[in-house]
A and B are shown apart, each in its own frame.
Chain A
Amino acid sequence: MSLFLANESDPIAHIVDKGVLGFKLFDQPVMLSMITLAVCAIVLYLLMSKAAKSIATGPASMGNRRFIPIGAFSALVEVVIVYLRNEMLIPVMGERLTKRYLSFLLSLFFFILALNIVGLIPFIDIQDAVYGLMGKHFDIKEHETSAIFGGAATASISVTGGLALVAFVVIQFQGFRELGVKGWLEHLCGGHELVHGSIFLWLVVPIIFIVEFFGLFVKPAALAIRLFANMVAGHTLLITLTMFGAMAIKAGLGIFAVGGITAVSGVGAILITFLEVFVAVLQAFIFMFLTAVFISLMSHEEEEGHGEHGDADESAPASGHLSQQPAH
Chain B
Amino acid sequence: MLIASTDPLAFNLLPFITTIVVFAVVAIALGMFVWPKILKGLDDRNAKILHEIESAEAARAAAASKQKEFEQKLAEALEQSAQMIREAKSEAVRMGDEIRAKSEADLAERARRAGEEIENARRTAIAELESHAATLAVSIAGRILKREINPGDQKRMVEESLAGMSDKSAKRN
The chain A residues found within 8 Å of chain B, CB to CB, are: 2, 5, 8, 10, 12-18, 25-26, 28-31, 33-34, 37-38, 41, 44-45, 48-49, 51-53, 55-57, 67, 69, 77-78, 81-82, 102-104, 106-108, 110-111, 124, 128, 137-138, 140-147, 153, 155-159, 161-163, 165-166, 232
Q: Does B8 contact A (CB under 8 A)?
A: yes
Residue of A45, A162, A166 with most chain B CB atoms under a 10 A cut-off: A162
Name the distance in Å between B56's Cβ and chain A's nearest Cβ: 14
A52 close to B14 (CB less than 8 A): no
Instruction: Give chain B residues whose Cβ lies under 8 Å from the Cβ of A153.
Output: 15
Q: Which of B1, B5, B15, B31 has the most CB of A within 10 A?
A: B15
Structural contact, A57 and B3, CB atoms closer than 8 A: no
* CB within 8 Å for A67 and B26 given contacts A16-B7, A142-B3: no
User: CB-defined interface of B1-38 with A at 8 Å, one 1/0 digit per residue?
Assistant: 11111111111111111111011111101110111111
**Which applies to chain A's interface (DSSP): helix, strand, loop or mixed?**
helix
On whether the beta carbons of A30 and B14 are closer than 8 Å, the reply is yes
Distance A138 CA – B17 CA, assembled complex (angstroms): 28
Contacts of B156 in A (CB 8 A): none
In the complex, A14 Cα to B20 Cα: how many Å? 24
Q: Kindly report which residue of chain A lies nearest to residue B31, judged by CB atoms.
A: A103
| Smallest CB gap from A8: residue in B | B2
Docked Cα-Cα span, A141 to B4, in Å, equals 9
Assembly CA distance A48 to B38 (angstroms) = 9
B4 close to A16 (CB less than 8 A) = yes
B contacts, CB < 8 Å to A:
1-20, 22-27, 29-31, 33-42, 44-45, 48
Residue in B8, B23, B34, B35 whose beta carbon sits within 8 Å of that of A162 in the complex: B23
Q: Which residue of B lies closest to A82 (CB)?
A: B42
Report yes or no: B40 in contact with A56, Cβ–Cβ below 8 A.
yes
Is there an interface contact between A52 and B34, defined as CB atoms closer than 8 Å?
Answer: yes
Contacts of A45 in B (CB 8 A): 26, 29-30, 34
9 further A-B contacts with Cβ under 8 Å, apart from A104-B27, A156-B12, are A10-B6, A48-B30, A51-B34, A52-B33, A57-B44, A67-B44, A155-B8, A159-B15, A166-B23
Distance from B8 Cβ to chain A, minimum over Cβ atoms (Å): 5
**Most chain A CB inside 10 Å of its own CB: which residue of B3, B6, B20:** B3
Contact partner of B38 (CB less than 8 A), chosen from A34, A56, A108, A138, is A56
CB distance from A99 to the nearest CB of B (A): 9
Q: Do B27 and A108 touch (CB < 8 A)? A: yes
Would you mind naming 30 contact pairs between A and B with Cβ atoms under 8 Å apart?
A2-B2, A13-B6, A16-B10, A18-B2, A31-B18, A34-B14, A34-B15, A37-B15, A37-B23, A49-B33, A52-B34, A53-B37, A103-B31, A104-B31, A107-B27, A107-B30, A107-B31, A108-B27, A110-B30, A137-B1, A143-B4, A143-B5, A146-B1, A153-B15, A157-B8, A157-B9, A158-B14, A159-B16, A162-B15, A232-B8
